């Protein structure tokens, strides 16, 4: 007969808390659910971080070109090259998020396949609603299999305001062009037919990431009950162990043994702690929903 306990895995004598098999299995499932929820947040954080790096790159390069007036062919090539790298990194992370999200959601929803399919429908909603989402998905496939994303760029500037309040606005425009994409005969025809002669990528990417933000919020809402319950299950056993062990629950594990002796060699063991799940909570707080991202911009104006 198998017996189940919770105790600190240390060399010194310590208290063992007896649990039953159903609670042991519940703790195992709760840990799997929290790990998958954390994986979802980590992949979204990777996506958002790559987006932030692209936005920062655009601002940094714009400031440098504004101050140093670097407009040679080599300067412009170097600029286009670094922007292509940032866009490629971003598109790789969006695909990673899309490809792996279904399995993580299924785990969070206790293995029910219908919820994985439901999540894929969230992406379909964004695809059907937004040209920019459709275009960026087609562009991602182009970058993965054929060519680069940034085909042309410009650095327009203009004066705004009057008299002493006049300021010069400097911008960096990056584009994917229809002419360049026409060379890829595998580029999605339906998207190609609806695109203009050039697509301004900064705007398109902001809308695209806003779509992912919408999807991520829906996923959080979908899994929230199971994830919160799973954390509460682990918090409960930690609290109960502290009550029988003078408030100390550092390094505890739930485990099974063949004999009714908590000092026997475990045949199955899971660590019981939540420090790593606190990372998930911090990522959840850090990466808030931002569906209106396309309407935001950073200004260096002092007015």
Q: Which tens digit of pLDDT belongs to each residue from 105-121?
A: 999 999 999 999 999 99
CB neighbour list of residue 264: distance below 8 Å, 6 or more residues apart: 257, 258
Residue 214 contacts residue 145 (beta carbons within 8 Å): no
Burial class (CB in 10 A: 0-12, 13-18, 19+), 177: middle
Helix 131-145 vs helix 201-244: crossing angle, to nearest 10: 90
Q: How confident is the model at residue 71 (pLDDT cuts 50, 70, 90)?
A: confident
Distance CA 258, CA 6 (A): 15
Check residue 302 and give its pLDDT.
Answer: 65
Distance CA 234, CA 34 (A): 10
The pLDDT tens digits of the residues spanning 83-109 come to 999 999 999 999 999 999 999 999 999
CA dihedral 20, 26, 30, 36 (to 10 degrees): 130
pLDDT score of 303 more than 70: no
What angle (nearest 5°) sits at the alpha carbon of residue 281, between those of residues 280 and 282? Answer: 90
The pLDDT tens digits of the residues spanning 12-59 come to 889 999 999 999 999 999 999 999 999 999 999 999 999 999 999 999
Q: Which residue has the tokens 């899309």?
A: 98
The pLDDT tens digits of the residues spanning 6-23 come to 999 988 889 999 999 999
Residue 99 contacts residue 137 (beta carbons within 8 Å): no
The pLDDT tens digits of the residues spanning 146-198 come to 999 999 999 888 888 888 788 888 899 999 999 999 999 999 999 999 999 99
pTM metric for this prediction: 0.93
The domains of the chain are located at 3-159+169-295
Number of other CB atoms surrounding residue 150 within 10 Å: 22
């Amino acid at each position: 007969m198998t017996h189940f306990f919770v105790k600190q895995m240390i060399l010194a004598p310590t208290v063992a808390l007896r649990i039953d098999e159903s609670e042991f299995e519940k703790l195992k499932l709760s840990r799997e659910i929290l790990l998958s929820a954390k994986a979802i947040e980590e992949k979204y954080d990777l996506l958002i971080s790559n987006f932030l790096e692209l936005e920062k790159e655009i601002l940094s390069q714009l400031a440098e070109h504004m101050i140093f007036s670097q407009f040679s062919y080599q300067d412009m090539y170097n600029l286009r090259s670094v922007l292509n790298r940032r866009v490629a990194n971003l598109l790789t992370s969006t695909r990673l998020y899309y490809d792996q999200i279904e399995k993580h959601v299924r785990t969070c929803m206790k293995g029910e396949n219908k919820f994985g399919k439901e999540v894929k429908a969230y992406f379909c909603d964004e695809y059907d609603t937004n040209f920019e989402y459709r275009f960026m998905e087609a562009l991602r496939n182009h970058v993965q299999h054929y060519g680069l994303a940034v085909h042309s760029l410009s650095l327009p500037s203009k004066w705004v305001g009057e008299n002493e309040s006049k300021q010069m606005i400097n911008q960096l425009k990056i584009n994917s062009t229809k002419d360049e994409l026409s060379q890829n005969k595998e580029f999605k025809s339906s998207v190609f037919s609806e695109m203009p002669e050039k697509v301004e990528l900064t705007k398109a990417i902001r809308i695209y990431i806003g779509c992912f933000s919408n999807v991520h919020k829906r996923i959080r809402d979908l899994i929230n009950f199971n994830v919160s319950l799973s954390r509460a299950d682990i918090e409960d056993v930690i609290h109960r162990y502290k009550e029988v062990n003078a408030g100390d629950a550092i390094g505890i594990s739930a485990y099974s043994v063949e004999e009714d002796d908590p000092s026997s060699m475990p045949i199955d063991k899971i660590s019981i702690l939540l420090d790593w799940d606190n990372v998930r909570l911090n990522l959840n707080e850090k990466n808030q929903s931002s569906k209106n991202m396309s309407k935001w911009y950073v200004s260096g104006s002092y007015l």
